[in-house]
Structure 1
Amino acid sequence: MHRLIVALLAAFDAALAAAGGIAVVLAPLALLWVVGLGDPDWTALWPAAAAVWHLGHLVPITVTLPDAYLAATGIDPALATFTLSLAPLAFAVFTGLFAARSGVRAAEAGAAVTGWVSGSAVFAGLAALIALSSGAPLVASETWQAILFPALLFAVPALLGAIVGSWRVGDEGPIDALRVRLDDLPEPWGRVPALIARGLGVSVLGVVSVGALIVVVGLVAGSTQIIALFQAMNVDAVGATVIALAQLTYLPTLVVWGLSFAAGPGFAVGTDTAVTPAGTQVGVLPGIPVLGAVPETTTPWLLLLVLLPVGVGALTGWILRAHLPATRDPEPVGPRLTVAVAVAALTGGAGALLAVLARGSMGPGRLADTGPEPGPLALTLGLEVFVGLAILLLSPRVGAPVAEIAPARPAATRTPVIPRSLFDPHTGEHPVVPARPGDDRTRDAADPAPSPGPSGIGSDVDHAWPTAPVPRADAGPAADTADLSDDEVRARIRDAWASPEWGRSGDEPRDR
């Protein structure tokens, strides 16, 4: 595909990602404004929508409450200005998926660098346009952060997608050179990088699924409290819909909290609070309905949840073990240990990155510290995944001893057949047969037959004496002789000679 077309498609993907994220915020806000206040004030609506979009792309925003609101609610003026940095990660996930898809498409079209540069530049330009046009006195953010953070959230996944796409189809450049270097590594070390990448993908997907499972169970268990908090807010249908959509944007954030809870370190919902399987210590929580899923007390039985990340590691080890070849020699421990340590360490690093993205400030005062701690989550998650990997990846193979595993027979090995023209039609003998390759002599029927061995099917043009007499490939039932003994092969040859297809009508060939 032409590079200009690839650049235009990547730019369109970037524009669609930015416009889609803004529209998801702007549409419900405009609906709420029209239903509640009448004519919308776009000078206030646009900064509010842009602030939510920025917050979803990890940009901290500073909120300043107006004096009239402070007087009406009785809030301490010292808390009038605070920072919001707990990101609704649904926006970041949306942008990242669009970016990765754009990078893969550009790589498969043969212009990975062009597509990546075009898409990243367009998204950065749109982020700058949004940042410069959305200034407001009540909601503010640092301009450089409002441009850099969204740009990185598009550029990094797009680059990863371009690398994955180039690895699939080749790029005639650094990716292909890297593959050549990996192919030159001795076995089984040549498989190690691919196994690490595969294991990292499986383990990260598995631990994220564990976090999602914990969130679902928590929502079901705390459904009564969640409904009560919704009713206490005393909002109409439109308001309830907007609140529900706002909480859905925080669903990926809650998944990371659930993962940290299952792994053991837990998370905080304010300063000096902790929600862990070993115990819960929280004060008065904000009246946000979804926080009704936070357990007020825990039981020691919840410590068994650490088996879920261990199970993810075991599943990853089982999948990776299936891609390791079985040999007659004892399997080397070095490559398997390297894969296990690397996958566990990278999974712990991914957990730490998720914890960084899913923590921050959700309000003034004690609410400035919420979310999981990156260090403890990385350590515990890495160790738990390593235990599961070691069980399946480092243990001996189940079943037959490794020393008894026979090497696979090469599928392409075929033994040439004896042309029918070399047989005497009356005696079944072969008066003159070409010698083996490299031997310029010929051998007549008086020479001893070669030693028996495996047989196969070849073409009519012979260049070597086969290790056992074999019929032509078109000899019907006698053609499939790869798994037969020598006596069975001779019997099939006699049957083939007696068939009308071979022009025989009487004499049987002699056994050799």
Structure 2
Amino acid sequence: MHRLLIALLAALDAIIAAAGGIAVVFAPLTLLWVFGLDGGADWGALWPASGAIWQAGHLVAQTVTLPEVYLATAGIDPAAATFTLSLAPLALAVFTAGFAARSGRRAAEAGAPLIGATAGTLVFAAAATVVALTVGNPIVSAEFWPAVLLPTLVFAVPALLGAVVTAWRVDVDGPISRLRERVARLPRAWAVFPALLLRGTAVTTTGLVGAGAIVTAVAVFTGGADVVALFEAANVDITGGLVLSLAQLAYFPTLVLWGASFVAGPGFALGAGTAVSPAGTEVGVVPGIPVLGAVPDSTTTWLLLLALVPIALGAFAGWMLRSRLADQGRPRHDDADGGIGMRLVLTVSLAVLTGGVAAVFAVVSSGSIGPGRLAMVGPEPGPLALAVGIETLVGAAILLLSPRRTRATPSTPGEATQRKGSADLPAHPGLWRSISAPPMYVHSGSDEASDPAPVVTAAADPEAAESVDDNATEPLEGLRGSDEEDALTEPIEPLDGFPDRDTGRAPGSSVD
């Protein structure tokens, strides 16, 4: 595909991502203006409000300044008239990141990953600049450069990751392909190191987010009565309740990351000097946001067992990576699964990268929701990264660094037969039948007793047995030759006292 066409399609993706995010915010506000208000609000105020919410969803901190009339009506201390709102409704950022990753992947599949990611990023940056220049108002405002750079990063990073990962998998020309060829020249285990590290990190982080989603859902279910009570205390009509529900839905990814921090152990805060963790809960006065009714008033020490979840995720990732390393190695070598040095580096790298991703989760899911003590809400990056890194390290080390029992391969077939023991069958079934068949005593026709001929049986030659093809019809090596054939086929005289096959009487006995 022509590179100009790829750039145009990437630019179209960026425009759709920006316009779609703003439309998701603008539509509920329009419904609120049409059905929920008595015509006192200006239609022109909808765009600044929508743009400010879109910026907040892309990690841009908003400075809120309440008017004096509202302060007097609500009885709010004038000292709290200005505060920062920086806790992001991450649903908008997730929407943009998903669109960006898809755009980067499509550009890579078309053969121009970097061109597509760059074009989309520039167009999205232009859209963020337009929003920053047009949404200013006396109540909510943001600094210009963060309002442009942060939304651009939310689009650029997933777009670049999607392009690079896809270009690494597909065969395209360019710097990514050349880098992949250089990595492929490394030793066998080290050549797959980047792919294994990313795969293991994806397993641990996805599992941690999934565990956080489960914990959040359980908390909302168990605290449903408090959530409903806070909805009723808000005293809003149907339209207001719908808008309030959509706003809380936009914060659902943020709450999921809070749940992931709760699972890992450090938990999160709902204000300065508060903590919500498995070790204990101390929240004080909770803001009257309905979804915060799901926050438990107290916890039990049994919830500390949730820390086993990140350890189990690390162990699962370690098992998966150890299996793939073994597949890359060669049999009958001590370093078939990469060697202890390579596995140690992989374990530490997995823990560090997973802890780094957890720190990013804490940064994007924390911030301020009001003045005073509400300026500190969410998990802290340092404790969360440390806890997740250590837990992942312990779990991954159990499977990646533990010695693995391997089946020893004997150097000669004779050693293999000796290890099997006398009760085991030899390797060649035809040889076993010739050895284990009972001796046949054939009457030679003479009535006189004679010494029986020695019974000759084939000696199991393990080396011959291992080297003979199952489909071969030739006699086995070691049984070939006239002496052996005669010994196996010549008639054998019966022993004294054994009955004659034809008459059923002993040789030499008279017949009545």
Residue 111 of structure 2 contacts residue 173 of structure 2 at CA under 8 Å; is this kept in 1? Answer: no
Which residue number in structure 1 is paired with residue 23 of structure 2? Answer: 23
Question: Whole-Å Cα distance in 2 between the matches of residues 202 and 53 of structure 1?
Answer: 30
Which residue, 344, 348, 351 being the options, matches 1:341? 348
Greater Rg by CA: 2
Is residue 210–residue 309 contact of structure 1 (8 Å, CA) maintained in 2? Answer: no
1:328 equivalent to 2:332? Answer: yes
SS at match of 1:63: strand
Compared CA separation, residues 47 and 405, structure 1 to 2 (3 A): farther
* CA–CA separation in structure 1 for the residues paired with 2:297 and 2:62: 30
CA separation of 1:72/1:178 partners in 2, compared to 1, >3 Å: closer, same or farther?
same
**What letter is aligned with 2:471?**
E
Residues 79 and 487 of structure 1: CA distance in aligned 2, closer, same or farther (over 3 Å): closer
User: What's the CA shift for 1:149?
Assistant: 0.8
> Once the two structures are superposed, what CA deviation does each residue of 1:269-324 show, in whole Å capped at 9, x if it has no partner?
00111111111111111110110111111111111110011111111112112211
* SS across alignment from 1:188: helix
Deviation per CA, 1:166-212: give whole Å up to 9, x if none. Answer: 11113322222222222221232222222111111111111111111
Q: 1:133, 1:406 → 2: CA distance? A: 78
Aligned 1:1-40 pairs, distance under 5 A: 1-39=1-39
Q: Which whole-Å CA distance do the structure 2 matches of 1:113 and 1:157 have between them?
A: 12
Q: Structure 1 residues 165, 487: CA separation in 2 closer, same or farther (over 3 Å shift)? A: closer
Letter in 1 for 2:28: P
Q: Say if 1:329 and 1:402, in contact at 8 Å, map to a contact too.
A: no
Q: Which runs of 5+ in 1 are unaligned?
A: 408-450, 455-467, 469-484, 493-512
Q: Which residue pairs with 1:384 in the alignment?
A: 391
Q: Would the alpha carbon gap of residues 487 and 333 (structure 1) be closer, same or farther in structure 2, given more than 3 Å must change?
A: closer
Aligned to 1:404: 408
1:353 aligned partner: 360
C-alpha distance in 1 between matches for 2:176 and 2:24 = 37
Match of 1:219? Answer: 220
> Is the CA contact 1:329–1:403 (under 8 Å) kept in the aligned structure 2?
no
Deviation of 1:486 after TM superposition, in Å, equals 3.1
Contact kept? 2:36, 2:240, Cα under 8 Å: no
**Aligned partner letter, 1:396:** P
Q: Are the aligned partners of 1:226 and 1:293 in contact in 2 as well (CA < 8 Å)? A: yes
Q: 2:11 is matched by which residue type in structure 1?
A: A
Aligned residue for 1:442? Answer: none
TM-score (norm 1): 0.78
2:297 is paired with a residue whose SS is coil
Kindly indicate whether the alpha-carbon contact (under 8 Å) linking 1:85 and 1:362 is maintained by their aligned counterparts in 2. yes
Amino acid at match of 2:406: V
Structure 2 length-normalised TM: 0.78
Q: Is the 8 A contact 1:100 1:161 kept in 2?
A: yes
Partner of 2:455: none
SS in 2 for 1:75: coil
Matches within 5 A, 1:72-83: 72-83=73-84
Unpaired segments ≥5 residues, structure 2: 412-462, 476-512
Question: 2:369 matched to 1:362?
Answer: yes
List aligned pairs for 1:38-437, cutoff 5 A: 38-39=38-39, 41-325=42-326, 327-331=331-335, 332-397=339-404, 401-404=405-408
The 1:65/1:183 distance shift into structure 2, 3 A limit, reads: same
Q: Aligned with 2:84: secondary structure?
A: strand
Deviations 1:448-502 (A, max 9, x none): xxx9999xxxxxxxxxxxxx9xxxxxxxxxxxxxxxx53632279xxxxxxxxxx
Question: Residue 404 of structure 1: SS of its match in structure 2?
Answer: coil
CA contact 1:452–1:486 (8 Å) conserved in 2: no
Letter of the 2:376 partner, please give it. D
Structure 2 CA distance for aligned equivalents of residues 337 and 259 of structure 1 = 27
Contact 1:266–1:276 (Cα < 8 Å) also in 2 = yes
Q: Which residue of 2 aligns with 1:486?
A: 469
Change beyond 3 A, Cα 1:360–1:381: same
For the structure 1 residues 77 and 406, does the alpha-carbon distance in structure 2 shift closer, same or farther, using more than 3 Å as the test? farther
Distance 1:491 1:234, change over 3 A: farther
Change beyond 3 A, Cα 1:262–1:101: same
Contact 2:17/2:99 (CA < 8 Å) preserved in 1? yes
Q: How many Å apart are 1:329 and its aligned residue?
A: 2.7
Q: Deviations over 1:98-126 (max 9, x none)?
A: 11110111111011122112111111111
Deviations 1:16-56, CA, capped at 9 Å, x for gaps: 10011101110001101110225562321111111100000
Q: 1:190 to 1:453 in 2, by over 3 A?
A: farther
Distance 2:386 2:470 in 1: 65
Structure 1 CA distance for aligned equivalents of residues 43 and 18 of structure 2: 19
Give deviations 1:342-363, integer Å, cap 9, x for gaps.
0111000000011011111001
The Cα RMSD (Å) is 2.0
* CA deviations over 1:359-405 (Å, ceiling 9, x no partner): 110011110111111000000100001111111222233xxx41426
Cα separation, 1, equivalents of 2:286 and 2:277: 16
In 1: Cα distance, 2:14 partner to 2:148 partner: 14
Cα offset, 1:164, TM superposition: 1.0
Q: Does the 8 A contact of 1:51 with 1:139 survive in 2? A: yes
Distance 1:81 1:196 in 2: 46
Alignment-derived partner of residue 478 in structure 1:
none
